[in-house]
C-alpha cells in the first residue's frame, strides 16, 4: 500500500491558488498598463496561432494554460515533498526471551514410584516428563536446550525454538539410558559449555533437576561450582524425591537421596534458587515458580519494509518544467 511520510505537505497545494486569487495583479514599473483597444484581436490571433500561453485580458478570463501547467508542476513537487512510500504489511518479530538449558537426571533411581497425581502412582521420571513438557510448551518466546545425564551427560538438543522436538525427546527418554549412576558435575559443565558461545548471559538460565548426589563422572561438585561461579549464568536446582523410612536401605544398595546442601550452594553461587519437590504437585509448582521468575518479554515488536518513491513525481515535475521551458522559447523565437 502507498503511504505518505509527511502528508501535511499537501496543504502547500493551496498556496498558488491563494496567490492567484488573493494577491493584486502585478503592476508595471511606470504605473498601470495602457488599455489597448484591440486586445480582443490579439487574443484571437493568439488562439489561432496555437501558442502555449493564453492571453489574460481581465479577472473574468479563464485560467491560462500557463498557470495550469505550472500548477501541475507545483502539485508534483508537493507530492514529492509528502514522501510517498510503498509499505509492506507489518511483520511481527520474535520477542526477546530466555535461553533455558534443561539438565535432567535420568539415572535408574528416577524409576522410584513415589509420586502420586490424581490418585495415580507415577515414577519420578514420568512426573518429570509431564511437568517439564508443559513448562517447555509455555515458553513460546524462549530457546530451550536439553541435557540428559546419568553416568554420563549427553546434549540431546542445543538451544532452539523448536519446542516440538524438545518435547518429543522428553517423552522418549528412559531411565538408565545414560547409565545407572549420577554425574551432576559433568552435566553442569556441559550445560555451561553450551552457553559460553552466547554473549547475553543475563538472559541465560540453567535448570538442573536430580534425585541423587554426584557419585560418578570426572568432575566433582566442588569443581563444577567453581566453574559456575566464573560464569554469569543463573542456575535453578531442583531436588526430587519423597522422603521415606527406607533411605538407609536404599543407600545400602547404592541408591542415594538428593544432596540438598550441594544443590543449595550451587544455586546461591549463581544467584539462582534451590527447590525441593517431594511430590508431583510440588514439581508442578516449582516449574510454575520458575516460569514466573523468568518471565519473557511479551511486548509485541513489528518491522515494516518501506520503499521510497518520492523521486517519481519529482522526476515528472522536472521533465514537465523542461518541456514547458523549451516550448516557451520556441514560441518566442517564432
Helix (H, G, I), strand (E, B), or coil: what is residue 119? coil
Provide DSSP, 224-274.
HHHHHHHS--EEEEEEE----TTHHHHHHTT-----HHHHHHHHHHTT--E
**Which triple of cell numbers denotes residue 218?**
570426572
DSSP per residue over 185-225, as a string?
A: HHHHHHHHHTTTT-S-GGGEEEEEEESS---SSSS-HHHHH
Residue whose cell numbers read 515535475: 317
- For 266-315, write each residue's pLDDT tens digit: 999 888 999 999 888 999 999 999 988 887 665 556 677 888 998 999 99
Total Cβ atoms within 10 A of residue 308: 11
In the chain, where are the structural domains located?
2-89+304-333, 94-293
pLDDT above 60 (res 48): no
Residue 283, all three cell numbers: 514439581
Cell numbers for 252:
545400602
Per-residue pLDDT at 105? 93
Residue 296 vs residue 66, higher pLDDT: 66
Distance CA 143, CA 141 (A): 7
Tell me the C-alpha distance between 330 and 312, whole Å: 27
Residue range 218-273, pLDDT digits in tens: 888 888 888 888 887 899 999 998 665 444 444 444 445 677 888 999 999 888 99
C-alpha cell at position 40: 480582443
pLDDT tens, position by position, 24-42: 665 554 445 545 454 455 4
Pick the CATH number of 94-293 from 3.40.640.10, 3.40.50.410, 3.40.50.150, 1.10.30.50: 3.40.50.410
Amino acid at each position: 500500500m502507498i503511504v505518505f511520510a509527511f502528508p501535511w505537505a499537501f496543504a502547500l497545494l493551496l498556496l498558488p491558488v491563494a496567490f492567484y486569487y488573493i494577491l493584486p495583479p502585478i503592476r508595471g514599473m511606470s504605473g498601470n498598463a495602457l488599455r489597448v483597444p484591440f486586445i480582443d484581436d490579439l487574443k484571437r490571433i493568439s488562439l489561432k496561432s496555437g501558442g502555449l500561453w493564453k492571453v489574460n485580458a481581465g479577472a473574468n478570463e479563464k485560467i491560462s494554460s500557463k498557470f495550469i501547467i505550472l500548477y501541475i508542476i507545483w502539485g508534483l513537487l508537493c507530492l514529492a515533498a509528502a514522501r510517498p512510500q510503498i509499505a509492506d504489511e507489518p511483520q511481527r518479530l520474535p520477542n526477546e526471551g530466555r535461553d533455558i538449558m534443561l539438565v535432567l537426571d535420568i539415572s535408574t533411581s528416577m524409576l522410584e514410584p513415589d509420586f502420586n497425581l490424581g490418585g495415580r502412582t507415577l515414577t519420578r521420571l514420568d512426573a518429570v516428563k509431564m511437568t517439564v513438557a508443559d513448562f517447555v510448551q509455555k515458553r513460546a518466546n524462549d530457546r530451550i536446550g536439553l541435557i540428559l545425564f546419568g553416568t554420563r551427560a549427553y546434549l540431546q538438543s542445543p538451544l532452539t525454538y523448536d519446542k516440538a522436538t524438545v518435547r518429543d525427546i522428553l517423552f522418549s527418554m528412559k531411565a538408565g539410558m545414560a547409565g545407572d549412576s549420577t554425574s551432576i558435575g559433568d552435566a553442569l559443565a556441559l550445560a555451561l559449555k553450551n552457553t559460553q558461545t552466547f554473549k547475553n548471559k543475563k538472559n541465560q538460565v540453567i535448570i538442573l533437576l536430580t534425585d541423587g548426589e554426584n557419585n560418578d563422572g570426572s568432575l566433582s561438585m566442588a569443581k563444577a561450582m567453581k566453574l559456575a561461579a566464573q560464569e554469569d549464568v543463573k542456575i535453578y536446582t531442583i531436588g526430587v524425591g519423597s522422603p521415606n523410612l527406607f533411605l538407609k536401605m536404599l543407600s545400602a544398595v547404592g541408591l542415594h537421596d538428593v544432596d540438598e546442601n550441594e544443590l543449595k550452594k550451587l544455586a546461591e553461587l549463581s544467584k539462582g534458587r534451590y527447590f525441593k519437590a517431594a511430590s508431583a504437585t510440588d514439581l508442578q509448582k516449582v516449574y510454575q515458580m520458575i516460569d514466573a521468575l523468568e518471565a519473557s518479554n511479551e511486548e509485541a515488536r513489528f518491522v515494516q519494509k518501506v520503499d521510497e518513491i518520492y523521486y517519481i513525481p519529482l522526476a515528472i515535475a522536472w521533465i514537465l518544467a523542461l518541456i514547458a521551458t523549451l516550448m516557451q522559447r520556441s514560441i518566442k523565437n517564432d
